[in-house]
Amino acid sequence: MSRVGKIPVGIPASVKVNLQGQEIFVEGPKGKLSFTALPHTTITLDGDKIVVTRDSDAAEARAMHGTCRARIANMVEGVSTGYVKKLEIQGVGFKASVASNVVTMLLGYAHPCVYTLPAGVKVTVDDSSTKLTVEGADKNDVGRVAAELRAFYPPEPYKGKGVRYEGEHIVRKEGKTVQ
């Protein structure tokens, strides 16, 4: 049995779960998400718990079992509490701004870096214009948006300039020296 897959997913009081065939719909205060069961898995509702089972002990079935359960658990947590990733911008003149669903970052290039946000993801910028907060109900979308914003100017090892995750440690290198 999969160690992750055999654990039932608890449903908080603020979350509504609807199962139609092999598609599960989860709705909570932070939004609505849906997911279709992966191959070799079956989703059932057991009172206030979601149980995922598999049809065989094949390697692919075992892998899908744990993955399916983890995806459902992430959905339930996402619609109840949400997910947050924080980014920091370091560098002279580097800053970011948000207008409706478009993030604009000035990162020392000749042009601004413009990113259109997908539905369900919200980005806020603090007063100093150097700290971004990415929030949303879908864990995958929040992580992907944060990674794509960071990819515009990843932190470089010599001066440490760039966009980094909050608390990320950058290994610094020593520059060239004249002998």
Report pLDDT for 175. Answer: 86
Q: What is the structure's pLDDT at 54?
A: 92
Range of 147's domain? 83-165
Low-confidence ranges of the chain (pLDDT < 50): none
What's the pLDDT at 5?
Answer: 87
Is 1 a member of any domain?
no
Buried b (16+ CB within 10 A) or exposed e, 48-66: eebbbebeeeeeebbebbb
Asked if 49 and 16 sit in the same domain, the reply is yes
Amino acid 170: pLDDT: 92
- For residues 124 and 91, membership in a common domain is answered with yes
pLDDT digits (tens, 9 = 90+) for 59-96: 999 999 999 999 999 999 999 999 999 999 999 999 99
> Do 156 and 93 belong together in one domain?
yes
Residue 6 CA to residue 69 CA, distance in Å, equals 8
> Is the same domain home to 60 and 89?
no
Backbone angles phi, psi at 4, to 5 degrees: -80, -45
Domain end position, chosen among 52, 80, 108: 80
Output the pLDDT for position 176.
86
